[in-house]
Amino acid sequence: MLKIAVYGKGGIGKSTTVSNLSSAFARMGLKVMQIGCDPKADSTRGLLGGKRIPTILDTIREGKPDIKLEDLVFEGADGVLCAEAGGPTPGRGCAGKGIVTAFEQLNSLNAYQIYEPDVVLFDVLGDVVCGGFAAPLRDGYADVVLVVTSGEMMALYAAGNICTAVRDFAQYSNLTLGGLLVNKRNIEREEERIAQFIDEVKVSVFGTIPRCTLVQDAEELGQTVVARFPESEQAAVYCDIAARIVETWGGKKA
Tell me the CATH number at 205. Answer: 3.40.50.300
pLDDT tens digits, residue range 33-61? Answer: 999 988 888 899 999 999 999 999 999 98
CA torsion sign for 110, 137, 143, 75 is positive
pLDDT tens digits, residue range 146-173? Answer: 999 999 999 999 999 999 989 988 888 8
Alpha helices for 36-134 (secondary structure H):
56-61, 95-108, 111-115
- What pLDDT score was predicted for residue 251? 64
pLDDT tens digits, residue range 57-85? Answer: 999 988 878 999 999 999 999 999 999 99
C-alpha to C-alpha distance for 122 and 84, rounded to whole angstroms = 10
Per-residue confidence band for 89, with pLDDT thresholds at 50, 70 and 90: low
Per-residue confidence band for 16, with pLDDT thresholds at 50, 70 and 90: very high
Alpha helices for the chain (secondary structure H):
14-27, 56-61, 95-108, 111-115, 135-138, 153-170, 190-201, 213-220, 225-228, 233-249
Average pLDDT of the chain, as a whole number: 90
* Residue 254 included in any domain: no
State how far Cα 176 lies from the chain centre. 15
Q: Are 89 and 60 in contact (CB under 8 A)?
A: no
* Residue 253 included in any domain: no
Beta bridge partners of 176: 144
- What pLDDT score was predicted for residue 184? 95
Per-residue confidence band for 91, with pLDDT thresholds at 50, 70 and 90: low
Q: What are phi and psi of 61, to 5 degrees?
A: -65, -30
What percent of the chain clears pLDDT 90, i.e. is strictly above it? 73
Helices (H) and strands (E) in the chain, counts: 10, 8
C-alpha to C-alpha distance for 127 and 42, rounded to whole angstroms = 18
C-alpha to C-alpha distance for 208 and 142, rounded to whole angstroms = 22
Q: Are 50 and 42 in contact (CB under 8 A)?
A: no
Give the catalytic positions in this structure. 9, 14, 40, 127
With a CB cutoff of 8 Å and minimum separation 6, the contacts of 109 are 67, 68, 69, 72
Beta bridge partners of 84: 36
pTM, rounded to two decimals: 0.93
Mean pLDDT of 177-183: 97
Cβ neighbours around 96 below 10 Å, total: 21
Domain count, the chain: 1
Q: Is the pLDDT at 131 greater than 70, yes or no?
A: no
- What pLDDT score was predicted for residue 100? 85
Per-residue confidence band for 174, with pLDDT thresholds at 50, 70 and 90: confident
Q: Is the pLDDT at 253 greater than 50, yes or no?
A: no
Structural domain containing residue 132: 2-248
C-alpha to C-alpha distance for 153 and 219, rounded to whole angstroms = 26
Q: Is the pLDDT at 224 greater than 70, yes or no?
A: yes
- What pLDDT score was predicted for residue 162? 92
* Residue 209 included in any domain: yes
- Lowest mean pLDDT segment, chosen from 27-36, 120-129, 177-186: 120-129
* Residue 183 included in any domain: yes
Provide DSSP, 159-201: HHHHHHHHHHHHTTS--EEEEEEEE----TTHHHHHHHHHHHH
- What pLDDT score was predicted for residue 63? 82
